């Protein structure tokens, strides 16, 4: 009973440094067993004048019995605009960590700092709880990006040799020119993007006949050309393959 009481008091003492963030929409997990050295992360300072959210990039350096040591790179983009800013002892920060199978977030107060060749070491108490934002191998980024989809035939991307995607995603995305036998252009909105592919709402609110026509047009394994308004894409289009297609509810009705 004494050992149990001591463990409970110690857990409460650790927990007071890591109050849940009201912005988090995920699952709360106990402990930090999924944290490992050399994991990439981002640091969001709280209330530091002139420093925007997700300004610092870094990695986990060491995990001791009482502390979590992370290093932030003050010279890497997008931190280049605030390279003259440094986190101070007592500042409260939010850390986003890319784990092996999920994305985690926790908040805490800096206990100590130390300068390094590339930036700064931050010493935090080990988190008693973390918020699991995504249970995915590849972190998903939410977007609201306009796009144009064209069906280009079932075998157009058979030789592309791209990576297999996660179920329910657009897979095998490759920089490519639009084939001559492309179908009609259909406007869409990309909702999220990850290393495994992308998910998009194709068309706006439509009737059942239009939805059925699009379901046949973008059937699974159909090759598609996707045009995105991104300067980094050659000729502005990528070639991919549909992994799944179905109805989706949107304001005003249904879409694909």
167 pLDDT more than 60: no
Rounded to 5 degrees, φ, ψ at 39 are: -75, 140
Average pLDDT over residues 199-216: 87
166 pLDDT more than 80: no
26 pLDDT more than 70: no
Instruction: Give pLDDT, residue 159.
Output: 39
242 pLDDT more than 50: yes
Instruction: Give pLDDT, residue 179.
Output: 53
What is the pLDDT confidence band of residue 83, given thresholds at 50, 70 and 90?
Answer: very low
Average pLDDT over residues 158-182: 45
115 pLDDT more than 80: yes
Instruction: Give pLDDT, residue 121.
Output: 92
Instruction: Give pLDDT, residue 162.
Output: 38
Instruction: Give pLDDT, residue 119.
Output: 85
This prediction has a pTM of: 0.49
What is the pLDDT confidence band of residue 69, given thresholds at 50, 70 and 90?
Answer: very high
What is the pLDDT confidence band of residue 97, given thresholds at 50, 70 and 90?
Answer: confident
b/e burial code for range 202-225 (CB count within 10 A of at least 16 → b): bbeebeeeebeebeebbeeebbbb
214 pLDDT more than 50: yes
In whole numbers, what is the pLDDT of the chain averaged over residues? 76
Instruction: Give pLDDT, residue 70.
Output: 93
Using one digit for the tens of pLDDT, what is the confidence trace for 53-67?
A: 446 888 999 999 889
More confident residue, 176 or 250: 250
Q: How far apart are CA 120 and CA 70, in angstroms?
A: 8
Average pLDDT over residues 155-162: 40
Instruction: Give pLDDT, residue 132.
Output: 84
Non-local (6+) Cβ contacts of 2 within 8 A are none
């Amino acid at each position: 009973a004494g050992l149990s009481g001591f463990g409970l008091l110690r857990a409460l003492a650790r927990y007071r440094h890591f109050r849940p963030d009201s912005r988090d929409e995920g699952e709360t997990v106990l402990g930090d067993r999924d944290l490992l050295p050399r994991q990439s992360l981002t640091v969001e300072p709280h209330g530091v004048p002139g420093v925007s959210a997700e300004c610092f990039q870094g990695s986990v350096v060491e995990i001791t019995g009482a502390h979590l040591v992370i290093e932030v790179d003050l010279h890497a983009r997008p931190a280049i605009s605030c390279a003259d800013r440094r986190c101070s002892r007592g500042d409260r920060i939010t850390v986003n960590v890319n784990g092996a199978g999920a994305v985690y977030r926790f908040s805490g107060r800096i206990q100590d700092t130390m300068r390094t060749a590339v930036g700064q070491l931050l010493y935090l108490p080990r988190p008693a709880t973390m918020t699991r934002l995504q249970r995915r191998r590849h972190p998903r980024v939410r977007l609201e990006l306009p796009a144009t989809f064209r069906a280009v035939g079932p075998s157009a991307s058979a030789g592309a040799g791209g990576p297999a995607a996660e179920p329910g995603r657009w897979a095998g995305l490759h920089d490519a020119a639009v084939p001559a036998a492309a179908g009609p252009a259909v406007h869409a909105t990309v909702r999220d993007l990850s290393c495994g592919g992308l998910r998009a709402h194709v068309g706006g609110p439509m009737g059942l006949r239009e939805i059925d026509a699009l379901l046949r047009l973008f059937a699974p394994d159909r090759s598609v050309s996707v045009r995105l308004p991104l300067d980094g894409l050659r000729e502005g289009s990528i070639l991919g393959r549909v992994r799944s297609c179905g109805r989706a509810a949107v304001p005003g009705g249904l879409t694909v």
